[in-house]
């Protein structure tokens, strides 16, 4: 299994790498679905799943340990070109703009693309220094039910509308000067970690005779 460490820059030099940041609480087939699409549509060599130590906008309640979320990532990824990593711990970052600055600094010869679902395109204006994300790294956004339409009318899509690249030019995105971004009208995948946690809680409650667990 490939591993990512801050000192492994030589291996990653010259490679095109998609970065899928997430809580992965737990990982699911929706993550795998967009990662496989990213490998193909963007012509990437690898996708790294950046398992976030703690999303700054999410509650710590209901958040499984980082260890558990890394294990769930390993179980779901099952692909030689998807690398599951907690490199934000090594970088000591929690905010994406800082993470990207750290990665560009440690891997200056690697071409990174930030990957996310349409829900995060809507939300990104609430992230710390969010315009630095677009200024530093090409971005690829994947359709996700039911967010795609609202995302395309949101603040981030509007602000960078002149820098949007058509799907037919997506393979060139990793080499483009940012800001540059693409929105994929891809086949949808319904998986959601919130739904999985809800189902698990219901199953646990049913197993304990309907008592809250």
Ligand X SMILES: Nc1ncnc2c1ncn2[C@@H]1O[C@H](COP(=O)(O)OP(=O)(O)OP(=O)(O)O)[C@@H](O)[C@H]1O
Ligand Y SMILES: O=C(O)c1ccc[n+]([C@@H]2O[C@H](COP(=O)([O-])O)[C@@H](O)[C@H]2O)c1
Q: Where are the beta strands (DSSP E) in 79-166?
A: 82-85, 111-117, 139-142, 164-165
* 120 counts as binding ligand X under rule CB under 6 A: yes
Q: Which of 4, 12, 19, 25 binds ligand X (CB under 6 A)?
A: 25
- Look at residue 42 and give the partner it binds from ligand Y, ligand X, none, a contact being a CB closer than 5 to 8 Å depending on partner kind: none
Q: Which of 194, 209, 210, 211 binds ligand X (CB under 6 A)?
A: 194
Nearest distance from residue 167's CB to ligand X, in Å?
Answer: 16
Q: Which of 12, 18, 19, 22 binds ligand X (CB under 6 A)?
A: 22
Nearest distance from residue 114's CB to ligand X, in Å?
Answer: 9
Name the helix (H) or strand (E) containing 199: helix 193-207
Buried b (16+ CB within 10 A) or exposed e, 20-45: bbbbbbbbbebbbbbbebbbebbebe
Q: End-to-end CA distance of the chain: give it in Å, rounded.
A: 37
Q: Which of 14, 56, 145, 190 binds ligand Y (CB under 6 A)?
A: 56
The structure tokens listed for 34 are 């967009």
| Interface positions with ligand Y (CB under 6 A) | 21-23, 50, 52, 55-58, 95-97, 120, 127-128
């Amino acid at each position: 299994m490939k591993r990512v460490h801050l000192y492994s820059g030589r291996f990653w030099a010259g490679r095109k790498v998609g970065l899928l940041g997430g809580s992965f609480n737990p990982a699911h087939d929706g993550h795998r679905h967009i990662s496989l699409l990213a490998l193909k549509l963007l012509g990437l060599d690898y996708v790294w799943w950046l398992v976030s130590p703690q999303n700054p906008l999410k509650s710590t309640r209901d958040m499984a340990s980082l260890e558990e979320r890394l294990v769930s990532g390993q179980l779901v990824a099952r692909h030689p070109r998807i690398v599951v990593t907690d490199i934000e711990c090594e970088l000591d970052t929690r905010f994406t703009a800082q993470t990207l600055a750290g990665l560009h600094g440690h891997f200056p010869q690697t071409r990174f693309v930030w990957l996310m679902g349409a829900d995060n395109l809507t939300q990104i204006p609430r992230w710390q220094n969010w315009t630095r994300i677009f200024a530093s790294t090409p971005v690829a956004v994947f359709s996700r039910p039911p967010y795609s339409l609202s995302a395309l009318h949101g603040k981030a899509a509007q602000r960078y509308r002149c820098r949007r690249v058509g799907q037919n030019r997506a393979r060139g995105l990793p080499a483009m000067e940012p800001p540059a971004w693409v929105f994929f009208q891809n086949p949808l995948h319904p998986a959601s970690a919130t739904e999985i946690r809800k189902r698990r809680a219901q199953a646990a409650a049913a197993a304990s005779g309907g008592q809250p667990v």
